[in-house]
Chains A and B, each alone.
Chain A
């Protein structure tokens, strides 16, 4: 596939390399070092770093400003953008703001409901949804036009991504939903954290059967467990998360002091297995407040060094 943007992530995928991305959550304050320190730990081991947009609806330093901090340190950011908090005016405005700093990747999301966060009494916006945000960015980039139809001077050049959750219900529309995002114009996908490998492989197979793997780059999402407690929490408390019993059992089966290591082992084994799955074009490693472990995971899975493409 030829590239359409200056995105390094797009170039790496287009050249046929397995991509590696990771993510950093911005701080609950204004100290930029909280972001740059995390990025420093992983920047040599990943191709791009996602910055989450007020994830779980907890108010944080904004994704766009955090992406600019990454950009300033020479790291390629992926701007996560949710449609929960901003209407179409603000979304387009922030896309242009990001484009003015030459941010080349965007991940279009609807966002967790505000009910989960620190402002459950707030309004939500949802003027548009994630699929319509994909269409919006593609229109702004490819046609150089605002939603209102006016021309954009220096349109954004963004490689357009979205999330996919193979584990949410109903399962039968999870591949059609992927097809819908592709039809809207998505170019790369980062999936929900994968623990149920069989289910993921089934989803992937169904996607391949429809030829969708040739229309979009799919990066498999992984998150290492720090503890058995975290595995149980993810299983029982996080909506749309599928953690099979045997994974929880495996985490619980080792002494507490070795659980973190076991979590990394599971993550490494997951990547090694999924590397062989048709249609998987890379990995999105979400090591939640555990960024220092990303290099180890990347190295142990043979994904290091990263291709030197700029």
Chain B
């Protein structure tokens, strides 16, 4: 999923302090799962802002909504009939949702309520970690199912570097060395000989480096 973190409320106040009618829009997908921008967080943020405006002696109307997804026309359309009531929208979706909202409601200011962090998984309750950088050319088949691009601090395709110590990364003792994980799993799969295969220079053109990306699937287009 896309993992996000709540923005500090001070930063959000700075965005919205001069508006009179606000819509806080949550998203029922990834940001709900990672507890940063779902219905619950929409409610908490709305309360915090109401408290702030009350203390400031400002009369601000704050409505709440949580859409099934903010990255889909269909669900964003659900607020079309009332979007004009608001001076601004505070979207708690990931950066994708925020932008799709802004594209759709071109004349309404839209602000982000979360920082979109990475593509990751929930390791345990309250702990999420990165697993994928969407490079567009998956190599997990070569690396025993562990991604060195997202999990090695130097994204080394032929690691580990000389800084791998007791299974941990040189930049942070709490961070697993991706290449230690790869080697451990290659061993488990009786494939340690594969370690000596040199991974060729990567074509990064399918990654961010190649410019903004698009997938067009003729077979599923209407």
Q: Which residues of A contact B (CB under 8 A)?
A: 84, 88, 110-113, 115-116, 124, 126-132, 135-136, 147, 163-165, 168-170, 172-173, 176, 179-180, 183-184, 192, 239-240
B114 to chain A, nearest CB (A): 21
A250 to chain B, nearest CB (A): 23
Which residue from chain B places its CB closest to the CB of A124 in the assembled complex? B154
Residues of B within 8 A of A136 (CB): 201
Residues of A within 8 A of B167 (CB): 169-170
Residues of A within 8 A of B166 (CB): 169
Bound-complex Cα distance A253 to B156 (A): 41
Which residue from chain B places its CB closest to the CB of A179 in the assembled complex? B196
B156, B184, B196: the one within 8 Å of A129 (CB): B156
Q: A112-B163, A168-B162 are in contact. Are A147 and B195 (CB under 8 A)?
A: no
Q: A126-B154, A180-B158, A239-B170 are in contact. Are A169 and B164 (CB under 8 A)?
A: yes
A54 to chain B, nearest CB (A): 14
Bound-complex Cα distance A129 to B157 (A): 7
Bound-complex Cα distance A113 to B162 (A): 11
| B154 and A84 within 8 A (CB) | yes
B153, B154, B158, B162: the one within 8 Å of A240 (CB): B162
Bound-complex Cα distance A180 to B161 (A): 13
B170, B184, B204: the one within 8 Å of A113 (CB): B170
| A126 and B155 within 8 A (CB) | yes
Give chain B interface residues in 154-187, CB to chain A under 8 Å.
154-167, 170-171, 177, 180, 183-184
8 contacts between A and B (CB under 8 A): A124-B154, A132-B200, A168-B161, A169-B160, A170-B164, A172-B183, A183-B198, A240-B162
B135 to chain A, nearest CB (A): 12
Bound-complex Cα distance A196 to B146 (A): 32
Residues of A within 8 A of B192 (CB): 173
Residues of A within 8 A of B164 (CB): 168-170, 240
Instruction: Give the 5 A-B residue pairs with the shortest CB-CB distance, closest first.
Output: A165-B162, A239-B170, A239-B163, A131-B158, A240-B162
Give chain B interface residues in 114-161, CB to chain A under 8 Å.
153-161
Give chain B interface residues in 172-222, CB to chain A under 8 Å.
177, 180, 183-184, 192, 195-196, 198, 200-202, 204
Bound-complex Cα distance A179 to B195 (A): 10
B145 to chain A, nearest CB (A): 18
Residues of A within 8 A of B184 (CB): 170
Residues of B within 8 A of A173 (CB): 160, 183, 192, 195
Which residue from chain A places its CB closest to the CB of B153 in the assembled complex? A113
Bound-complex Cα distance A88 to B155 (A): 15
Residues of B within 8 A of A192 (CB): 162
Residues of B within 8 A of A176 (CB): 195-196
Residues of A within 8 A of B201 (CB): 88, 128, 132, 135-136, 147
B86 to chain A, nearest CB (A): 36
Residues of A within 8 A of B163 (CB): 112-113, 168, 239-240
B65 to chain A, nearest CB (A): 36
Which residue from chain B places its CB closest to the CB of A184 in the assembled complex? B198
Residues of A within 8 A of B177 (CB): 169
| A240 and B165 within 8 A (CB) | yes
- A88-B201, A180-B198, A240-B161 are known; give 10 further A-B pairs, CB within 8 A: A110-B161, A113-B163, A115-B171, A130-B161, A135-B198, A169-B167, A170-B184, A176-B196, A179-B196, A239-B170
B56 to chain A, nearest CB (A): 34
A196 to chain B, nearest CB (A): 14
Bound-complex Cα distance A165 to B177 (A): 16
Which residue from chain A places its CB closest to the CB of B197 in the assembled complex? A180
Bound-complex Cα distance A110 to B171 (A): 14
B212 to chain A, nearest CB (A): 18
| B158 and A132 within 8 A (CB) | yes
Which of B161, B170, B177 has the most A CB atoms < 10 Å from its CB? B161
A234 to chain B, nearest CB (A): 13
Bound-complex Cα distance A127 to B156 (A): 9
B205 to chain A, nearest CB (A): 12
B136 to chain A, nearest CB (A): 15
| B154 and A110 within 8 A (CB) | yes
A126, A165, A240: the one within 8 Å of B156 (CB): A126
Residues of A within 8 A of B170 (CB): 112-113, 239-240
Residues of A within 8 A of B157 (CB): 129, 132
